[in-house]
Amino acid sequence: MEFWQVISWCETEHIPAVARAAEELGFDGLILAEHIYYPREVASRYPYAPDGSSPMSDELEFPDPLIAFAAAAAITTRLRFMTGVYILPLRHPIEVARNVATLDRLSQGRFSLGVGVGWLEEEYDQFSVDFASRGRRMDEAMEVMRQLWKGEPASYQGEFFQHAELQIRPVPTASVPIVGGGLSGAALRRSAQRCDGWYGPGSSLDDLPAVIEQLHSLRTEAGLPWQGYPVIAPLLEPLTAAHVQSLAAMGVTGTVNYPFLFGIGPDSTVAEKEDYMADFAHRIIEPVRASR
C-alpha cells in the first residue's frame, strides 16, 4: 500500500519543507490539486459535496503544481508527485507535453500526471473552451502528449487539435503515467481504458467496492491487465490501519492523508504540518509496513 500526502491549498512557501518531511516520514508521494483562478461568483455545482459547495476559497492558495513539484523534486530523492487533478482540457497538449516532460527529467521520472475534466464551468468560459465537449477534448490531448513523449516527429489531426509533424525537447525518460480522476461513469471508463491508473475524489468503505469492481470490469472489457494498475482511493472516513487492510483486499494500491486544511485547519505553520504528517506516519504507515 502506498501512502500519499495531499497538499492542496498548502501555502506555496511551505511546500519544500513539507516535501522534505514527507520523504523522511516514509510517505510515498505528494498530491496537489489545481485550479487556475478563483471566480468571484460560482454557479457551478461541486459534485463531491452534498450541498454542491466547493472547499475553494480565495483566502487559500492554489500554486501551480508543475512548478511546485519541480521545487520539491530538487530537494528530495525518493518522493513521488502527482497532480490530483490537472484540468487538462483547458490547456493545449503540446505545451503540457513539453512542461510535463521537463518535470519528468528534473524529478528523475518521479511524476505522474493526474487528470480530470473538472466541474467549474466558469473556468471554461473564461478561457473560451467549450464545457460540454471537455471529455472528448481531454481524450485527444492525451493522445497528442503520448505521441510527443516518444521523441519522434509526429503529426495529429483530430476534432480539437491538429498539427503538422513536430517534436518536443526534452522528452521524458519514459512515457509519463497518466492517472484519471473522477467518479462519473465517463470518468471511470476513461480512467480504466485510456489512463494508467485511477485517483478517487473520496469514497466511503461501503461504496468503494462497487467502484473498484467497475474499474476492473472496464479494464477486462478492453482487454487490459488489472495487475499493475494503480488505484489510489482516499476515504471519506478517517483512515485506520484496519481500513488499510480492507482497502488492500479490494484491490486498492494507495490512499492518502487528508489535506492540511481538513486535518488541522487553515493557516497552520510548517511545524504543525510536520507534526500532522508524523502522527499519520506513526499511526498508519509504520504499523502497516511493520505487519508485512
* DSSP of 50-74: TT---S--TTS----HHHHHHHHHH
Taking 80 as the threshold, does the pLDDT of residue 56 lie above it?
no
- pLDDT score recorded for residue 210: 97
Cβ proximity of 80 and 113 under 8 Å: no
Per-residue pLDDT at 28 = 98
- DSSP code of residue 169: S
DSSP character at residue 154: E
Confidence label for 43 from pLDDT (cuts 50, 70 and 90): confident
Task: Please provide the distance, in angstroms rounded to a whole number, between the alpha carbons at the two ends of the chain.
Answer: 10
Using the predicted structure, report yes or no on whether residue 11 has a pLDDT greater than 80: yes
Question: 54 pLDDT band (50/70/90 cuts)?
Answer: confident
Measured CA to CA, the distance from residue 259 to residue 266 in angstroms comes to: 10
| Region 2-290: CATH code | 3.20.20.30
Reply yes or no on whether the pLDDT at 292 is more than 80: no
What are the CA-CA distances from residue 260 to residues 10, 15, 62, 63, 121 (Å)? 7, 12, 13, 15, 27
pLDDT of residue 47: 81
Cα-only R_g, the chain: 19
Taking only the tens place, the pLDDT of each residue in 81-95 is: 999 999 999 999 999
For the chain, the domains span 2-290
Distance CA 277, CA 16 (A): 14
How confident is the model at residue 278, as a pLDDT? 98
Q: Are strands 2-6 and 254-257 parallel, antiparallel or unpaired?
A: parallel
Query: C-alpha cell of 230?
Result: 494503480
Q: What is the pLDDT of residues 190-244, one digit of tens each?
A: 999 999 999 999 999 999 999 999 999 999 999 999 999 999 999 999 999 999 9
Predicted confidence (pLDDT) per residue in 120-173, tens digit = 999 999 999 999 999 999 999 999 999 999 999 999 999 999 999 999 999 999
Q: Taking 90 as the threshold, does the pLDDT of residue 48 lie above it?
A: no
Q: State the pLDDT at residue 50.
A: 80
At residue 266 the predicted structure's pLDDT band, cuts being 50, 70 and 90, is very high
Residue 38 pLDDT > 90: no
What is the average per-residue pLDDT within 162-187? 96
pLDDT at position 281 over 80? yes
- Which residue, chain included where needed, has cell 530523492? 77
CA distances for 90 relative to 21, 35, 116, 128, 131, angstroms: 33, 10, 10, 9, 9
The pLDDT score that the predictor gives to residue 215 is 98
